[in-house]
Amino acid sequence: MNIPTTAQAMRIARRELRGGIRGLRVFLACLVLGVTTIAGIGSLADSVGAGIKADARELLGGDAEARLAYRPAGAAEHAYLARSGTMSQTASMRAMGRTLDGDRRSLIELKAVDSAYPLYGSVALSPPQSLAAALGSRDGIFGAAVDRAILTRLGLKIGDGIRVGAAILQLRAAIEREPDAAAGGLGLGPRVMISAEALAETGLVQPGALVTYRYRVRLPPGSDATSWAEAARSAFSEAGWQIRTFHEASPTLQRSIERVALFLSLVGMTALLVGGVGIGNAVGFYIAGKTAPIATLKCLGASTRLVFAVYLIEVLTLAVLGVALDDTAARARAPGARAARPLSRSAGPGRAFRDFDDTPILAMASRSSRSGAGRCAVP
């Protein structure tokens, strides 16, 4: 196509578009819908991944973690971990929580922590108080911080007592935020957090009991967590512990997010395919409605190439407009995505999900009516 023909085609296309895009609204809507869906899914997955990386140390509870099942760390292992930096030890297991009269009971996720917990982040309690005050001993009775779900299940309130194993614990606070909740995986019951001393009083730690010990280490500034993990595995190759760093803070959560993103991508591709069918139908109906203008152009001596170029330019112009609208919407949403709150951790099953302050993607399609013989301004 020579330059004069291109200029004529652009001039005619501009005049047709000036008269409105009636008949191509569905085309524009399908294009924006498909592109927005695919871009939105990618943006969502990237936002969640960035949130996990930003809160990785809090999610793990330290720069590195060594996990042991059924047994605590030996003297040599404990000394090695303590020398590596600031260390915090937790023990978790499942147990039964009962009211003092024994009428009600519930499966609980028992978590015993030491005075150094947490190494990163903080535990938010209601009523507000320090974790040490909530879990410490008063008049020979240790305290517990619990998920609110157990208060409902057992019909208790803050200040009441609960029996766990051989120990009686006072419920002193409800857990509003637990920084490393995601590291514990799927919980089968409400969280009950106690001190390491209170765990000993319960008498639940017996040979063969399924207790998981986690040793979190906060390394000195400038230390490489990956190198430390490799050194620890080499130093205690027979320890049987599982060591991971904050780079893999929550692999279970990460895998779940990847699966959801894959599923949403398939949904987006399906929407894009359906949108493509809609685009084809919309363009076909639009061209079919332009029979009279095309006939007029042909009568005035326009070549087939010129007519084809006119409507190709119109379709490409609207395609560029649709992509531009989607890009503008994405840029408008970007500040809100960057300002999204960090991962919110609450106790209990289903914790450690991200609070997204995202606006839902709305698919809007305009209903276009097909006009018969259109009118066209010719040069």
The pTM score is 0.62
- Whether residue 232 is found in the same domain as residue 126: yes
> What rounded mean pLDDT belongs to the chain?
77
On whether both 218 and 270 belong to a single domain, the answer is: no
Say whether both 310 and 195 belong to one domain. Answer: no
Between residues 297 and 129, which one has the greater pLDDT? 129
Question: Is residue 378 a part of any domain in this protein?
Answer: no
Query: What's the pLDDT band for 269 if we cut at 50, 70, 90?
Result: confident
- 361 within domain boundaries: no
Q: 206 and 170 in one domain?
A: yes
Same domain, 179 and 288: no
Q: What is the pLDDT of residue 24?
A: 66
Q: Specify the pLDDT at position 370.
A: 34
| pLDDT beyond 90 at 329 | no
Same domain, 238 and 264: no
pLDDT top residue among 364 and 290 = 290
Shared domain check, 219 and 144:
yes
130-159 pLDDT, tens per residue? 999 999 999 899 999 999 999 999 999 999
Final residue before a domain boundary, out of 226, 248, 270: 248
- For residue 333, the enclosing domain spans 3-55+253-338
Rounded distance between C-alpha atoms, residue 92 and residue 106, angstroms:
16
Given this model, what pLDDT does residue 111 score? 94
Q: What is the 3-state secondary structure (H, E, C) of 90-145?
A: EEEEEEEEECCCCCCEEEEEEEEECCCCCCCCCCEEECCCCHHHHHCEECCEEEEE
Q: Would 180 be classed as within a structural domain?
A: yes
Residue, of 8 and 176, whose pLDDT is higher:
176
Q: Residue 153's CB: how many other CB atoms inside 10 A?
A: 18
- Cα 190 from Cα 145, distance rounded (Å): 11
Kind and range of the H or E element at 69?
Answer: strand 64-69
Residues 135 and 207 in one domain: yes
Which of 214, 248, 282 is the last residue before a domain boundary? 248
Provide the residue count of the chain: 379
Task: Return the SS3 of 158.
Answer: coil
Task: Report CA 295 to chain centroid distance, whole Å.
Answer: 56
Q: Is 74's pLDDT higher than 50? A: yes
Question: pLDDT (tens digit, 9 = 90+) per residue, 4-27?
Answer: 567 777 777 777 666 566 656 666
Do 172 and 296 belong to one domain? no
Tally of domains within the chain: 2
pLDDT confidence of 98, banded at 50, 70, 90? very high
Check residue 193 and give its pLDDT: 95
Does some domain include residue 365?
no
Domain assignment present for residue 102? The answer is yes
At 347-360, the pLDDT tens digits run: 433 343 333 333 33
* Whole-number pLDDT of residue 372: 38
Question: Same domain for 102 and 244?
Answer: yes
Comparing 225 with 352, which gets the higher pLDDT?
Answer: 225
SS3 assignment, position 155: coil
Q: What's the mean pLDDT in 353-370? A: 34
- Taking the CB of residue 127, how many other CB atoms lie within 10 A of it? 9
**Helix, strand, coil % (nearest 5) of the chain?**
45, 20, 35
Whether 254 has a pLDDT exceeding 60, the answer reads yes
Q: pLDDT at residue 365 above 60?
A: no
Indicate the pLDDT class of residue 160, thresholds 50, 70 and 90: very high
- The full 3-state SS of 320-374, as one line of letters, equals HHHHHHHHHHHHHHHHHHHCCCCCCCCCCCCCCCCCCCCCCCCCCCCCCCCCCCC
Point out the domain boundary residue: 248, 276, 301.
248
- Is the backbone of residue 32 left (phi > 0), alpha (psi -120 to 50) or beta? alpha
Tell me the pLDDT band of 345, cut-offs 50, 70 and 90: very low
| pLDDT attached to residue 281 | 76
- On whether both 236 and 145 belong to a single domain, the answer is yes
Between CA 48 and CA 343 the distance in angstroms is 9
Same structural domain, 225 and 102: yes
199 within a domain of the structure (yes/no): yes
Q: What is the pLDDT of residue 238?
A: 83
Q: Tell whether the model's pLDDT for residue 42 goes beyond 80.
A: no
Residue 307 within a domain: yes
Q: Which residues contact 183 (CB under 8 A, 6 or more apart)?
A: 59, 60, 61, 65, 214, 249, 250
242 lies in a domain?
A: yes
